[in-house]
Amino acid sequence: MLHRYLILGLLMDSPMSGYDIRKQVNAALGMVTNASYGTLYPTLHKLLAQGAVGVQEISQIGRPAKKVYQITERGRQEVLDWLKQPADDQLQREFLLKLYLARNLSANDVLALVSARRAKLEFERQALQADKSGAGSPQAGWVADYALAMCDAEVEWLRRVETHITQTSVV
Amino acid sequence: MLHRYLILGLLMDSPMSGYDIRKQVNAALGMVTNASYGTLYPTLHKLLAQGAVGVQEISQIGRPAKKVYQITERGRQEVLDWLKQPADDQLQREFLLKLYLARNLSANDVLALVSARRAKLEFERQALQADKSGAGSPQAGWVADYALAMCDAEVEWLRRVETHITQTSVV
DNA sequence: CATGGCATGTAATTTGTTACATGATTTC
DNA sequence: GAAATCATGTAACAAATTACATGCCATG
């Protein structure tokens, strides 16, 4: 369902092919969702069948023909309605589940888990910062900024967890 | 797949019925995942068939019989292996997608979207704080603390977005 | 006597992932 | 000549949601 609105939302800006959509998603929303062709194309077909988008085949010289999809009025209405509904998303962090279940591990093992996570986040933070600088639109900037803020908040939280573990466990 | 380890991980603490698992998940991990019976029971059956858990039917007076599942050595090994692998989770926030796609909305509409989100989070924050106080184990406390930290970080980010919008749009 | 908690499950559907399959062109 | 980019898709599978279906017991 998410991909439906993702596609529709991007088509609201300008008509695009499935390939183009994939590129845009990867560039701007890679951290939010990762739409692959296996999802994109079938979803486009469905949207077409439902009249939310139209299509026009464009022949090109020197490269494969492409199908450019435009959003219809119906599709546009659908996105607009969706946009106005509040989003209810959960945290849904696999790591959080791991940490919760890690009570059966030794303090050292838990610490290793947490440290590894922090190292990973601190590494990813660099890429995020680069994304932020290279953001084209304000919206893309916000997304990057959000990711960065979440990353920082998690790192701080991890630090708290780390000190808690070291202080609690026998030295 | 997540539910598989969720179940296995909880069974590592003590043998439980599907019903018990559900209760525990709802209480301690409600913000991470929301396992329903439709997932829980089939997963338990699969785990049983694969020898990751064993089962014992317990008759009770005054209430329905229950099936208490215990984790096997094989299942325990599986969780332990999984725990040690790094988790790679994406942000996957529906709201983030909405905000990104909201460039076709008027500044006022975007502002409404953002404000509503902030109000929602600030409301949910109260429940989270209560969860934190009532956390039984350190692990449950960490989860609550994580949720709280993420909530606060998002609220701050929303504030930044709000000021950005008000300053940029024509007054 | 109705509501809610205890307790089990199935079936249909939706959603998404991964891998497979094809083929031309451009750049290194 | 190999690899990357452009461009389309299908099929098999995995995962999860929702709704349905049942039934007893305790409390108000």
DSSP-based helix, strand, coil % in chain B, nearest 5: 70, 10, 20
**Per-residue pLDDT tens for B137-169?**
899 999 999 999 999 999 999 999 999 999 987
Domain boundary residue among B63, B86, B103? B103
Average pLDDT, stretch B65-69? 95
Among candidate residues A29, A31, A35, A16, the one with its CA nearest the CA of residue A137? A29
Domain boundary residue among A103, A136, A151? A103
* Mean per-residue pLDDT of chain B: 93
Domain boundary residue among B75, B103, B131? B103
Cα–Cα distance for residue pair B22/A114, rounded to 1 Å: 27
- Confidence band for B127, pLDDT divided at 50, 70 and 90: confident
Round and report the angstrom distance from CA (B4) to C1' (C18). Answer: 20
Per the structure, the residue whose CA is closest to nucleotide D17 at C1' is B38
Q: A120 and A74, same structural domain?
A: no
Interface of A with B in 38-77 (CB under 8 A): none
CATH number at residue B16: 1.10.10.10
Among candidate residues B67, B74, B69, the one with its CA nearest the CA of residue B51? B74
Q: B28 and B86, same structural domain?
A: yes
Q: What are phi and psi of A91, to 5 degrees?
A: -70, -50
Which residues of A fall within a CB distance of 8 Å from B109? 83-84
Q: A80 and A114, same structural domain?
A: no
Number of structural domains in chain A: 2
Q: A81 and A6, same structural domain?
A: yes
Shortest Cα distance from A61 to chain B (angstroms)?
32
Which residues of A fall within a CB distance of 8 Å from B156? 149
Q: Is A25 on the interface with B (CB under 8 A)?
A: no
Q: A136 and A87, same structural domain?
A: no
**Per-residue pLDDT tens for A112-162?**
999 999 999 999 999 889 888 888 889 989 999 999 999 999 999 999 999
Q: Is B2 on the interface with A (CB under 8 A)?
A: yes
**Per-residue pLDDT tens for B20-58?**
999 999 988 988 898 999 999 999 999 999 999 999 999
Q: B96 and B63, same structural domain?
A: yes
Tokens of A67: 């199908």
* Mean per-residue pLDDT of chain A: 92
> pLDDT value at position B78?
95
Q: B77 and B6, same structural domain?
A: yes
Q: Is A156 on the interface with B (CB under 8 A)?
A: yes
Q: B53 lies in which domain range?
A: 2-103
Identify which of B94, B138, B160 has the shortest CB distance to residue A87. B94
Q: A51 and A73, same structural domain?
A: yes
SS3 state at B11: helix
Round and report the angstrom distance from CA (B107) to C1' (C14). Answer: 34
Q: Which residue has the tokens 């790192």?
A: A155
Q: B117 and B62, same structural domain?
A: no
Whether the predicted pLDDT of B5 surpasses 90: yes
Q: Is B80 on the interface with A (CB under 8 A)?
A: yes
Interface A-B: count of C-beta contacts within 8 A: 186
Q: B113 and B143, same structural domain?
A: yes
Among candidate residues A154, A162, A93, the one with its CA nearest the CA of residue A122? A154
Interface of A with B in 3-22 (CB under 8 A): 5-6, 9-10, 12-13
Sequence-distant contacts of A69-76: CB under 8 A, at least 24 apart: A69/A11, A69/A15, A69/A16, A69/A17, A69/A18, A69/A44, A70/A11, A70/A15, A71/A8, A71/A11, A71/A12, A71/A15, A75/A8, A75/A11, A75/A47, A75/A51, A76/A8, A76/A12
- Mutation target for B interface from A21, A24, A80, A83: give the one with most B CBs within 10 A: A83
What contacts A93, CB < 8 A, 6 or more positions away?
Answer: B32, B87, B89, B146
Identify which of B104, B117, B145 has the shortest CB distance to residue A157. B145
Binary contact (B96, A157; C-beta < 8 A): no
Whether the predicted pLDDT of B170 surpasses 80: no
Q: B56 and B33, same structural domain?
A: yes
Binary contact (A86, B33; C-beta < 8 A): no
Separation in Å, CA A162 to CA A33, A152, A159, A165: 30, 15, 5, 5
Q: A70 and A40, same structural domain?
A: yes
Binary contact (A95, B89; C-beta < 8 A): yes
Per the structure, the residue whose CA is closest to nucleotide C23 at C1' is A64
Cα–Cα distance for residue pair B156/B106, rounded to 1 Å: 22
pLDDT tens-digit profile, chain A (171 residues): 899 999 999 999 999 999 999 999 998 898 889 899 999 999 999 999 999 999 999 988 878 899 999 999 999 999 999 999 999 888 888 999 999 999 989 999 999 999 999 999 999 999 889 888 888 889 989 999 999 999 999 999 999 999 999 998 766
